[in-house]
Amino acid sequence: MSDHVLSRPEKPLVLWDGQCGFCGRCIAWALGRDPEGHLQFEPYQRVDELGPDLREACSRAVHVITVDGDVLRAGRACLFVLGRIGWPRIAAVLRLPPLIWGIELGYKIVAANRGRLSRWMP
């Protein structure tokens, strides 16, 4: 694994911004669809083993650390989660160019406006 995290997770680790209401709602949605616990969800603020570069990156986008040590971020991390919680075919199709480019652009737009989105969501 990279020097960003000291140890590999036993199952994929989803790192998200625990101070973001929008992020919290998205994670709650994903948790509700992962009853068997295939993924581990942790606010990045609670993970002491993160290096400063990864900690900074997690403040801007969701990340997944796979059991193989790969680090996925933003739209690709979301598609990884989507694939693990019941939609593997849709996630696989959305990872293909040019669709992944749209996913990443959409992620950037949502991430830049997550404060507003938090206020608009119930």
Is 46 within a domain?
Answer: yes
- For 55-105, how does the pLDDT look when each residue is reduced to its tens digit (9 = 90+)? 999 999 999 999 999 999 999 999 999 999 999 999 999 999 999 999 999
CA distance 104 to 83: 16
Is 60 within a domain?
Answer: yes
Is 122 within a domain?
Answer: no
Is 8 within a domain?
Answer: no
Looking only at the bridges linking them, the beta strands covering 40-43 and 13-16 are: parallel
Percentage with pLDDT > 70 across the chain: 93
**Full domain range(s) for residue 54:** 13-117
pLDDT attached to residue 2: 43
Label residue 31 by pLDDT band (50, 70, 90): very high
Domain count, the chain: 1
pTM of the predicted protein model: 0.89
CA distance 64 to 51: 15
CA distance 41 to 44: 9
